[in-house]
């Protein structure tokens, strides 16, 4: 299939801009053949106007209609076949198996949202029936449910070209909520974005969705991305990427005449605490799994653990030497972009500027235009306390072993951590109880706590929380993975004293959709 390099605006293709760019193969450094045209402000205006109009229709689509649309998107993505896999591999340097797995995750999450919509109870319907005889004042009938916010701007992530990009979690959750989506495609994988965007366009047409329910624009983040965030038709933003990018969008959104929420997932070091007993019992196994988790996907997951914290590691030389040998045997690989490679190298160099930091082990060098090798650092808990930059994420296969003198030093260090997506504690049953204070502390720092496991591998499900206190995310109250992500793009509306025919089906007394509702304080379907 010949890529077009154009904007997808509603059901049309558009290329009014004069500037263009080509993506690079990060393994070879070669330019990909297609010229992608930067969107103009006029094209952005068209996409936003179509989205605004589409919202009036799309917000009223039933759960079953939206579910069929999401399922059709999944089907159309599957129909892209090998071309999608080949294009994504060439643009990202990720292996075919990873892209195939990610495609399954992407279609799976679309279908999971479809199930949620068909079941219907996600709308949080609450009904308080009238109490006309209540003393001293009667109570009127009040009903409440979640309604869609309006058109959403989505910034595709570089590190998940499918699952966090054009038809990824942000788009799936916004469409499920009833919000049209305009995607600012990531400049690192525009061809992959076009293939997936075209699949959504086809699904929208064949499912009878209003034109403008989806559009996708190419171009620079600071030009077309910024204009998207500032456009009055846009009511929320979903973003995964760097702290600098996320915060730039957050400030733009906050300074609008009508400020809007920005759900930016910006990075995390995901500390892993190893307690002394388990280190003695299972040190080798944990060291091996830790090295695998750090280097998985060339360390380009937001959940790779960038920090291992343990007490008095000198007492456990076997554990440390096992960590070192696992890192020495680990391979690096090609990073997603030259920019990400250079940010990794700068991060490694920056850590080494601190005289309290040393290198414990380096992994194997790899071939390729933007290749890197794994690095394992060592430092003391006090050094982290003195230099907060040491606990910041180095995006890539690097991690730092932090040695605490004793439990008090470990707790002190944990108390100073900023927000992260996850924290992990390895311990045997007795010591996990003895370290309940650590776990309680960590609960205040992260969105997901893990016992005796590793943070990589984020399940897409109803109970997943993928987000965390700042600076991991710009809003710790919501997740960007799993079906609870839908609530980022809704707002509650109360209907007071409404005549029955005017109520949405979800709130009608007879409960025609047979959903769970909080009726006078009790969950029921009656």
Phi then psi for residue 89, to 5 deg, are -60, -45
Binding residue for ligand NAP (CB under 6 A) from 190, 221, 238, 482?
Answer: 221
Nearer to ligand NAP, 51 or 183 (CB): 183
Nearer to ligand NAP, 12 or 222 (CB): 222
Beta carbon of residue 414, minimum distance to ligand NAP (angstroms, whole number): 22
Q: Is 241 helix (H, G, I), strand (E, B) or coil?
A: coil
Phi then psi for residue 369, to 5 deg, are -55, -45
Q: Which residue among the candidates 43, 71, 91, 265 is catalytic per the annotation?
A: 265
In the sheet that holds 12-14, the strands lie side by side as: 12-14, 7-9, 214-217, 181-184, 152-155, 236-240, 262-265
Nearer to ligand NAP, 38 or 143 (CB): 38
Query: Is 456 one of the binding residues for ligand NAP (CB under 6 A)?
Result: no
Nearer to ligand NAP, 248 or 298 (CB): 248
Q: Which residue among the candidates 48, 89, 179, 302 is catalytic per the annotation?
A: 302
Query: Is 266 one of the binding residues for ligand NAP (CB under 6 A)?
Result: yes
Sequence length of the chain is 526
Whole-angstrom distance, CA of residue 474 vs CA of residue 236? 13
Range in contact with ligand NAP (rule: CB under 6 A) among 96-104, 106-114, 154-162, 170-178: 154-162
Binding residue for ligand NAP (CB under 6 A) from 68, 73, 145, 157?
Answer: 157
Query: Is 226 one of the binding residues for ligand NAP (CB under 6 A)?
Result: yes
| 302 annotated active-site | yes
Binding mask 179-218 for ligand NAP (x = CB under 6 A): -----x-xx-------------------------------
Residue labelled with tokens 């997506």: 421
| 179 annotated active-site | no
Query: Is 222 one of the binding residues for ligand NAP (CB under 6 A)?
Result: yes
Query: Is 242 one of the binding residues for ligand NAP (CB under 6 A)?
Result: yes
Range in contact with ligand NAP (rule: CB under 6 A) among 237-245, 367-375, 428-436, 446-454: 237-245
3-state secondary structure 424-478: EEECCHHHHHHCHHHHHHHHCCEEEEEECCCCCCCCCCCCCCCCCCCCCECCCCC
Collect all residues with Cβ–Cβ distance below 8 Å to 395 and sequence separation of at least 6. Answer: 242, 267, 299, 300, 340, 343, 344, 347
Binding residue for ligand NAP (CB under 6 A) from 95, 104, 245, 453?
Answer: 245
Residue 359: enclosing H or E segment and its boundaries? strand 358-362
Q: Is 183 helix (H, G, I), strand (E, B) or coil?
A: strand
Find out whether 78 and 107 touch, Cβ atoms under 8 Å.
yes
Whole-angstrom distance, CA of residue 360 vs CA of residue 345? 17
Which residue number is nearest to ligand NAP in terms of Cβ?
Answer: 221
Contacts of ligand NAP in 309-368 (CB under 6 A): 340, 343
Query: Is 267 one of the binding residues for ligand NAP (CB under 6 A)?
Result: yes
The neighbour count for residue 452, using CB atoms within 10 Å, is 14
Q: What single DSSP character describes residue 175?
A: H
Nearer to ligand NAP, 203 or 266 (CB): 266
Query: Is 220 one of the binding residues for ligand NAP (CB under 6 A)?
Result: yes
Whole-angstrom distance, CA of residue 82 vs CA of residue 76? 13
Nearer to ligand NAP, 235 or 426 (CB): 235
Q: Which residues bind ligand NAP (CB under 6 A)?
A: 155, 157-159, 184, 186-187, 220-222, 225-226, 240-242, 245, 248-249, 265-267, 302, 340, 343, 395
Active site residues: 265, 302
């Amino acid at each position: 299939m010949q890529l077009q390099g154009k904007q997808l605006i509603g059901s049309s293709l558009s290329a009014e801009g004069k500037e263009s760019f080509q993506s690079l193969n990060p393994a070879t450094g070669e330019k990909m053949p297609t010229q992608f045209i930067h969107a103009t402000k006029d094209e952005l205006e068209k996409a936003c106007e179509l989205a605004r109009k589409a919202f009036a229709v799309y917000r009223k689509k039933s759960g079953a209609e939206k579910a069929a649309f999401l399922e059709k998107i999944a089907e159309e993505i599957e129909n892209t076949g090998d071309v999608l896999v080949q294009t994504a591999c060439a643009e990202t340097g990720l292996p075919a198996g990873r892209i195939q797995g990610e495609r399954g995750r992407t279609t799976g999450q679309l279908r999971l949202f479809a199930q949620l919509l068909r079941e219907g109870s996600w709308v949080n319907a609450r009904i308080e029936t009238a109490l006309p005889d209540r003393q001293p004042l009667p109570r009127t009938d009040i009903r409440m449910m979640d309604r869609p916010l309006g058109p959403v701007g989505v910034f595709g992530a570089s590190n998940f070209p499918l699952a966090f990009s054009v038809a990824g979690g942000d788009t799936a959750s916004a469409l499920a909520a009833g919000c049209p989506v305009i995607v600012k495609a990531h400049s690192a994988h525009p061809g992959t974005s076009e293939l997936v965007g075209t699949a959504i366009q086809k699904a929208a047409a064949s499912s009878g969705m209003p034109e403008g329910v989806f559009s996708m624009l190419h171009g620079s983040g600071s030009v077309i991305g910024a204009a998207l965030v500032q456009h009055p038709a846009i009511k929320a933003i979903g973003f995964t990427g760097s702290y600098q990018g996320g915060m730039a969008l957050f400030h733009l959104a906050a300074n609008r005449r009508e400020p809007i929420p920005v759900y930016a997932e910006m990075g995390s070091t995901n500390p892993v605490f190893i307690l002394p007993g388990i280190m003695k019992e299972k040190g080798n196994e944990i060291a091996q799994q830790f090295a695998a988790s750090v280097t998985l996907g060339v360390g380009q997951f937001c959940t790779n653990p960038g920090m291992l914290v343990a007490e008095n590691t000198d007492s456990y030389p076997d554990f440390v030497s096992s960590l070192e040998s696992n890192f020495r045997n680990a391979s690096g690989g090609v990073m997603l972009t030259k920019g990400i490679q250079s940010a990794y190298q700068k991060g490694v160099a920056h850590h080494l500027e601190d005289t309290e930091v040393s290198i414990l082990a380096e992994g194997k060098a790899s071939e390729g235009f933007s290749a890197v090798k794994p690095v394992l650092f060592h430092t003391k808990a006090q050094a982290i306390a003195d230099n907060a930059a040491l606990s910041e994420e180095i995006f890539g296969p690097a991690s730092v072993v932090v040695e605490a003198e004793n439990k008090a030093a470990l707790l002190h260090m944990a108390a100073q951590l900023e927000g992260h997506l996850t924290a992990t504690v390895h311990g045997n049953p007795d010591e996990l109880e003895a370290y309940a204070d650590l776990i309680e502390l960590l609960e205040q720092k992260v969105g997901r706590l893990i016992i005796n496991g590793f943070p990589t591998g984020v399940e897409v499900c109803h109970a997943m929380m993928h987000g965390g206190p700042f600076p991991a995310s710009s809003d710790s109250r919501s997740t960007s993975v799993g079906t609870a992500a839908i609530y980022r793009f809704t707002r509650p509306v109360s209907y007071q004293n409404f005549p029955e025919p005017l109520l949405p089906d979800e709130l009608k007394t007879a409960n025609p959709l047979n959903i769970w509702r909080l009726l006078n304080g009790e969950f029921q379907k009656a």
